[in-house]
Amino acid sequence: MEPTPNPLESPDQPKIGVYICRCGGNISDYLDTEKLADTVRGIPGVTLSKVDTFMCSDPGQDRIVQDVQAGLVNRVVVASCSPFLHEVTFKAAVRRGGLNPYLYTHVNIREQGSWAHGHQGDAATQHALHMIAGGVGKVRHLQPLDKIRLPSHRRVLVIGGGVAGMKAALDTARRGLPVLLVEKAPQLGGRSLDLGRVYPSEQEARELVKRLEKDVRAEEKITVLTGSEVTAIGGFIGNFEATISTGSEQRTDAIGAVIMATGFTPYQPPEGEYAFGHSQVVTLPEFVKALRDMPSGKTLTWNGKPVRSVGLMHCVGSRQCEGCFQPQPDGQLNDYCSRVCCTSLLRNAVELRSRFPETQIYDFHQDIRTYGRGQEDYYTCASDQGVTFFRWKGEEPPVVTARDKGGLAITVKDQLTFGEEIEVPVDLLVLGVGMMPGPIADLVDQLKLPVGADRFLQEVHPKLRPVEVAVAGVLLAGTAQGPMSIEESLEGASAAAAKASILLAHDYTDLEPFVALVTPDLCVGCNACVEECQYAGAVTMEAGPEGKSVATVNPGLCKGCGACVAVCPTRAIDVQGWTLDQFDAMIDGMTDEALRVPATQG
């Protein structure tokens, strides 16, 4: 499609505006941003350069909009943070000014500048200058581009039928989009089915599941597939294809967006960790399930034995210190906080004290992290009801041993009594196990999903894009993303549903135009690109004018890797937005010896 001519763009006369961000000191405390602006003004084609404290703020963005509208600039470079944060922001500003947004280049002088060379004086500023000069070189060669519009399937796949998956399915369907809800287990509900009453509402988790399931089943736009698994998935936003297996049956569905609500796995302590394996040591999920179905009484009974005292151990499989615990098979420890265990342990302490008043409770924690609304009340309440607290240091976890006369002994260096070593006998020990990522390696592999250092699925940005991943069209709901409470899982699910509805608001998807394009006049028809390309049909030889064969790209099939570019003898084929001429110009800018920032005096 021919781009509409835009009088503002005048490609033959580049008027380049360079905007340098101080990032509130994150950049300007280390690099001399004023000198940078002064020096880049000397580069041919640069008509103005400006410095702003926060280019991403509204006034910062408005500088670009106004300069473009006034006809002062027709190419824009912003030197600020990583392009992964604000390239989109500034492209949008360029568009608001009336220019094609692809006439923009982003230069990273924070993550790869001030933060990486901040204490190296003028050399760091000089480096930033050359990086900006590279960006100026590129922007001079940019062409207006249009996004590629492809039809998309307006249908959402939700993987996982726990509370997050059900909530995400409901919210999506109620916006009018058909949903496929796939759950591995024979029933909906996930791990909530094993819980009792849950904080902060003290609602029965099974009641919550029942209500959600009733709504899900009543919603005609939702197709529920239990006892089913997604066995193969691929594609891209608007155009995923998923194979779903139910027993020996298989179906293949065209999908526009995917919501990952695959949940977590509770940490399973190795034999011997806090005496795990002993009949009187139990994990919190097992204990909660048993407690729920147990009659109340004066004293708790476990394995037929009366329990006069219970120990609650925090941070089992969470916030693990190096050398203290057995690492996971990949050699890593779980150094993150699982966030729900503190409140859950204390909630159950309160329940135990009221249902079994003669059972004493001893709580062993590193910290008490009852961080959410209403959660601190559980701590206050547990304190009021006589729960005894011991605090241990991360690198000195308590030691649990079996006692000869039965029960267990917990030895702790208690920080609340200034490091005194105390031995506490208990009849039962409950391990507050943390959360681990679910077994979703195949999905991660097939969808190329990013995984964080904690091995959970990773969002693009915790604040700015909290439920999106770097793979467009895939969204996160619930604990697939990291440890969180039911409350937070449902929030995440609603956010993911809203995002999915936005992505599929139309029956088309606009994709970045960064695919190969042939300049027919330069093509000699040698076929090298066709031979090099790994995607069937992405580039083919077609009859051109005067009977000449000319390489032709199918933008829907091209992935933009550029393998074809390297083998072309005439530079007839290039990836749009990333052409070899642009790269050459960047190298020229980065090596421009004439560009020097004046040295700092003294």
Partner 1 sequence: MADAVYQPRLLMLATLSCAYPGADAVGKARLEYYPNVHILGVPAPVMFPKEFYLRTYAKGFDGIIIAACGSDCPYKNAYDQLAARIDDLVQDMKQGGLEIARIRTTAICTVCIKPFLKEVEEMKEKLAPLGPVNREIAATLWRAEREAMKTRAAQVA
Cα distance between residue 194 and residue 380, in whole Å = 26
* For partner 1, the closer CB: 15 or 110: 110
**What three-state secondary structure class fits 558?**
coil
Cα distance between residue 386 and residue 360, in whole Å = 8
Instruction: Please check whether residue 551 is in contact with residue 539, taking contact to mean a CB–CB distance below 8 angstroms.
Output: yes
Under rule CB under 8 A, residue 111 binds partner 1: yes
User: Binding partner 1 by CB under 8 A: which of 110, 141, 319, 413?
Assistant: 110
Under rule CB under 8 A, residue 511 binds partner 1: no
> Which residues are CB-contacts of 321 (< 8 A; sequence separation ≥ 6)?
333, 394, 395, 397
Under rule CB under 8 A, residue 599 binds partner 1: yes
Under rule CB under 8 A, residue 122 binds partner 1: yes
Instruction: Please check whether residue 485 is in contact with residue 337, taking contact to mean a CB–CB distance below 8 angstroms.
Output: no
* For partner 1, the closer CB: 342 or 518: 518
Long-range contacts of 253-256 (CB under 8 A, 24+ apart): 253/155, 253/157, 253/180, 254/153, 254/155, 255/153, 255/155, 255/156, 255/157, 255/180, 256/152, 256/153, 256/154, 256/155, 256/156, 256/473, 256/503, 256/504, 256/509
* For partner 1, the closer CB: 113 or 162: 113
Q: How far is the CB of 561 from partner 1 (least distance, A)?
A: 4
What are the backbone dihedrals phi and psi of residue 49, each rounded to the nearest 5 degrees, phi first?
A: -140, 140
* For partner 1, the closer CB: 123 or 505: 123
The dihedral of CA 378, 384, 387, 389: what is its sign?
positive
Cα distance between residue 67 and residue 522, in whole Å = 36
The dihedral of CA 77, 80, 82, 88: what is its sign?
negative
User: Binding partner 1 by CB under 8 A: which of 365, 514, 595, 597?
Assistant: 514
Q: How far is the CB of 525 from partner 1 (least distance, A)?
A: 6
Q: How far is the CB of 574 from partner 1 (least distance, A)?
A: 9
Under rule CB under 8 A, residue 494 binds partner 1: no
Number of residues near partner 1 (by CB under 8 A)? 57
End-to-end CA distance of the chain: 58
Under rule CB under 8 A, residue 54 binds partner 1: no
**Residue 239 belongs to what H/E stretch?**
strand 239-246
User: Binding partner 1 by CB under 8 A: which of 498, 532, 541, 556?
Assistant: 532
Instruction: Please check whether residue 100 is in contact with residue 106, taking contact to mean a CB–CB distance below 8 angstroms.
Output: no
Q: How far is the CB of 251 from partner 1 (least distance, A)?
A: 26
* For partner 1, the closer CB: 402 or 567: 567
Under rule CB under 8 A, residue 576 binds partner 1: no
Residue at 243: amino acid letter: T
Under rule CB under 8 A, residue 84 binds partner 1: yes
What are the backbone dihedrals phi and psi of residue 321, each rounded to the nearest 5 degrees, phi first?
A: -90, 150
The dihedral of CA 60, 61, 64, 68: what is its sign?
negative
Q: How far is the CB of 587 from partner 1 (least distance, A)?
A: 5
Burial class of residue 240, CB neighbours in 10 A (0-12, 13-18, 19+): buried
Under rule CB under 8 A, residue 29 binds partner 1: no
Burial class of residue 450, CB neighbours in 10 A (0-12, 13-18, 19+): middle
Stretch that binds partner 1, among 3-11, 95-103, 176-184, 585-593 (CB under 8 A): 585-593
User: Binding partner 1 by CB under 8 A: which of 5, 7, 119, 249?
Assistant: 119
Read off the DSSP letter of residue 385: T
Under rule CB under 8 A, residue 596 binds partner 1: no
User: Binding partner 1 by CB under 8 A: which of 8, 321, 472, 580?
Assistant: 580
Under rule CB under 8 A, residue 588 binds partner 1: yes
Site for partner 1 in 123-152 (CB under 8 A): 123-124, 126-127, 130-131, 134
Under rule CB under 8 A, residue 215 binds partner 1: no
* For partner 1, the closer CB: 110 or 319: 110
Under rule CB under 8 A, residue 556 binds partner 1: no
User: Binding partner 1 by CB under 8 A: which of 98, 425, 466, 525?
Assistant: 525
User: Binding partner 1 by CB under 8 A: which of 185, 526, 541, 557?
Assistant: 526
Under rule CB under 8 A, residue 448 binds partner 1: yes
Q: What's CA 363's distance to the chain center, in Å?
A: 34
Q: Which residues bind partner 1 (CB under 8 A)?
A: 82-84, 108, 110-113, 115-120, 122-124, 126-127, 130-131, 134, 448, 450, 452-453, 470, 514, 524-526, 532, 534-535, 559-563, 565-570, 575, 578, 580, 583-584, 586-588, 590-591, 593, 599
